[in-house]
Structure 1
Amino acid sequence: MQSTNHPHGELVEPRNAFSPLLLSLVLALAATLVFTETASARTILDMLFGPRQIYRENTDRLIEDGNGRRVRPPARNRPIKRARPRSVAPQASTGPRPSTTVKEAIPEKLPDAKTVLIVGDFMAKGLAEGLDEAFIDSPGVRVIDKSDGSSGFVRDDHHDWPATIGAVIEAEKPAVVIMMAGANDRQQFANGQTLLSDEWDKEYQARINAFLEAVKKTGRPVVWVGQPSYKTKSMTNDVLAFNELYRNATEKAGGTFVDVWDGFVDQSGSFTLSGFDMSGQTARLRNNDGIGLTPAGKRKLAFYVEKPLRQMLGNATSPNIAAIKPGAPVQALPGTPQAPVKVDRLAPISLNDPELDGGTDLLGASPRGAPAPEKSARDRLVIDGVAPESQPGRVNDFSWPKRPDATPTTGAVR
């Protein structure tokens, strides 16, 4: 190809000339098209990775077209390859398949089950839910929730617990009464007495004592559950003072005070939203507001009340109480350990009785004379001033004339 002269005398390559690289690409593309045409329309993937399996397996099924090329037959003439059916396990019946998880039936409460009456504010309602879960497998225990979420001992115009508890006990006939209140009592009385002032404390204690006295008249035992810590520091400080009032008044009335403070604080004694649940795992115990309880917190709160309740209810808390015949009292369950009995004093036992049971003498027999106690060498020396007898040959042998020494045995060490 010839070059042309530039007006200024320089040689210039023609604009339509192919570069060597572009010429190589054009020749490679042309060779690819020719090879594809002669290779029975094979794709570039076939050229790079080898022919597809279908051509190796079905080469005998290719047919020739009018131009002498071998092509695949039309779709209607191809043999249809059916998919292998999946193996299905035979079913025994055509009905619905049974569920793999079987829920255990909740035992029904016995007609003479002992009733646990819960009264108080919204915290008492959470306690009732936790106790109901704790005794769900005990048909001899029934939990009755008579709490009022907005109640307390300050606003008696909303609910007066000292005045109404007697009627509630008469209607429900509980075996034990549980009170938990105080979260709504951080306010002044209607007459203007300031919170936790001397006048406020005096009035508040009077209402607490009135409630405990009303329960005591019915002959039912009472359990007062203390308040847990709360998110706000001021509320926590107030309920700490409330707990001391509850403890003193309850113990003075012969009731049981349950302290739950340690279950809802961290190692430093501060409020915490999370803590150990019943299974020992870390769980959320309080709501985001720092006041309410989560289901795990309600169950943990009930855990602190279970111990005194099981002592008071005795055999009624056993899950096997339903195995006895209907109509029998709940205390008649055989083989169940009895509740511990508080022992104040024991009858004196005679030391003259070798067996300590009085079973060695016949009825009407005269008591034996007590043998004179024999004093020890120390008592004779200290009390009576009588020195022990000296042994011959010892340094404390001051007898005169000297007594002969004891004959030493053979092999004795001198």
Structure 2
Amino acid sequence: MIRRRLVLSAMTLGSLALLPPAGVARAQPAPPGPVKILFCGDSLAQGMFLSLNGVLRRRAGLRAVNGTLHATGVTRSDEHDWPTAARDLVARNHPDLVIFWIGANDFRPLVVREQRIRFAFGTQGFAEGYARRVTEMVTPALASGAKVVWFGLPNMRGAQIAEAARQLNEIQQNAVVSAGGVFIPTWDATSDAEGRFLPSVPLDRGARVFRAEDGVHFTDWGYRRIAALFFDDVDHYFPEMAQSLGRLGDG
């Protein structure tokens, strides 16, 4: 019995030795490291970057880099080679997260400069070539260890361009997800209950316009609303980044 009490006493002393001294706070988990976000794409991505930049700059440990270029697209590598540009941007900036949004200019034929051929929109050659380029855009970022988020195209005012956007969304989503990235659909968020183009959002205080007059782009608030589809649900996609990125809310 005496030996048992001695053993228990030794165990108790050992446990106490693990506790911090009185008045000393327990060590807290280390805060997440700084997060660098690289935005890539056409005028859609550019608008999102510009609308978020002020918000993101005010957050400690967060840096946003603008790698966008308006009036560009995936189809015309002879004008701007996005697979090469995306690879170089990742190598130069070492981002933790890459956000892509592109396709507003991709209803033109897909040009294969090396072979001096082009594929009309809607053809099998177009779909295969486009998917290959999307894969080449996201792969370097994923290989570097960065997370990749690709926003799908929104509903658009013109019937023809809206249908084309639907087709591009299918190609983009299949390629991005197959490569290991996250695809964020925007179609439902930009359509009414009947699936029609939605220029404004009904709110308790009245409807608020969130699409630009051209029926393709967004207002400043509209870009933030679309970005919130990812940022407000980041803990679902990348919980390790949730504290750094934070929610955008409805502001």
Query: Given residue 116 of structure 1, which amino acid in structure 2 is its aligned partner?
Result: I
Q: Distance in 2 between matches of 1:240 and 1:178?
A: 20
Q: How far is the alpha carbon of 1:151 from its aligned partner?
A: 1.4
Q: Deviations over 1:280-302 (max 9, x none)?
A: 74211112221221112111111
**Residue number in structure 2 paired with 1:296:** 221
Q: Provide the rounded CA distance (Å) in 1 between the counterparts of 2:97 and 2:205.
A: 29
Gap change, CA 1:308 and 1:160, over 3 Å in 2: farther
In the alignment, is residue 283 of structure 1 matched against residue 204 of structure 2?
no
**Is 2:43 the counterpart of 1:115?**
no
- The reply to whether residue 141 of structure 1 matches residue 66 of structure 2 is no
Per the alignment, residue 317 of structure 1 pairs with 245
Taking structure 1 as reference, are residues 312 and 130 closer, same or farther at Cα in structure 2, changes over 3 Å only?
A: farther
Match for 2:219: what amino acid? T
Matching of residues 229-268 of structure 1 within 5 Å: 229-268=155-194
Q: Sequence identity, in percent?
A: 25
Q: Which amino acid aligns with 2:102?
A: A
Deviations 1:241-270 (A, max 9, x none): 111111111111111110111221112110
1:174 maps onto 2:95 in alignment = yes
Which string of whole-angstrom CA distances, capped at 9 and with x for unpartnered residues, describes residues 28-83 of structure 1? Answer: xxxxxxxxxxxxxxxxxxxxxxxxxxxxxxxxxxxxxxxxxxxxxxxxxxxxxxxx
Aligned match for 2:137, one of 205, 211, 217:
211
- Tell me if the contact between 1:273 and 1:285 (Cα under 8 Å) persists in the aligned partners: yes
Deviation at 1:312, TM superposition (A): 4.7
> Is residue 273–residue 286 contact of structure 1 (8 Å, CA) maintained in 2?
yes
1:270 is matched with 196
Say yes or no: does 1:199 pair with 2:125. Answer: yes
Q: Which residue of 2 aligns with 1:56?
A: none
- 1:130: which partner in 2? 51
* Higher CA-based Rg: 1
For 1:341-360, what aligned pairs fall within 5 Å after superposition?
none
2:74 counterpart (139, 149, 153): 153
Report the 3-state secondary structure (helix = DSSP H, G, I; strand = E; otherwise coil) of the residue aligned with 1:289: coil
Q: Classify 1:292/1:317 alpha carbon distance in 2 versus 1 (closer, same or farther; 3 Å).
A: closer
> Within 2, Cα distance between the matches of 1:308 and 1:116?
16
3-state DSSP class of the match of 1:159? coil
State the SS of the aligned residue for 1:222: strand
The AA in structure 1 aligned to 2:212 is N
Letter in 1 for 2:51: G
Deviations 1:366-407 (A, max 9, x none): xxxxxxxxxxxxxxxxxxxxxxxxxxxxxxxxxxxxxxxxxx
Q: Distance in 1 between matches of 2:168 and 2:135?
A: 14
Q: Give the length in aligned residue pairs.
A: 207
2:110 maps to amino acid: F
Q: Which residue of 2 aligns with 1:306?
A: 231
Structure 2 unaligned blocks of 5 or more: 1-32, 112-116
Checking the alignment, whether the CA contact within 8 Å between 1:266 and 1:275 is kept in structure 2 is: no
Superposed CA offset, 1:102-139 (max 9, x none): xxxxxxxxxx7311110000000111133335535422
1:161-187 per-residue CA deviation (whole Å, 9 max, x = no partner) reads 211222211222211001111111101
The amino acid of 1:227's aligned partner reads: L
C-alpha distance in 2 between matches for 1:136 and 1:280: 29
| 8 Å contact kept, 1:134–1:299 | no
**Residue equivalent to 2:13:** none
Other-structure match for 1:34: none
TM-score (norm 2): 0.75
Q: Is the 8 A contact 1:130 1:298 kept in 2?
A: yes
1 or 2, which has the higher helix percentage? 2
Cα distance in 2 for partners of 1:127, 1:276 equals 21
**Counterparts of 1:302 and 1:281, CA distance in 2:** 22
Q: Unaligned regions of 5+ residues in structure 1, if any?
A: 1-111, 320-414
Higher normalized strand content (fraction of residues): 2
Report if the CA contact (8 A) 1:166-1:218 is conserved.
Answer: no
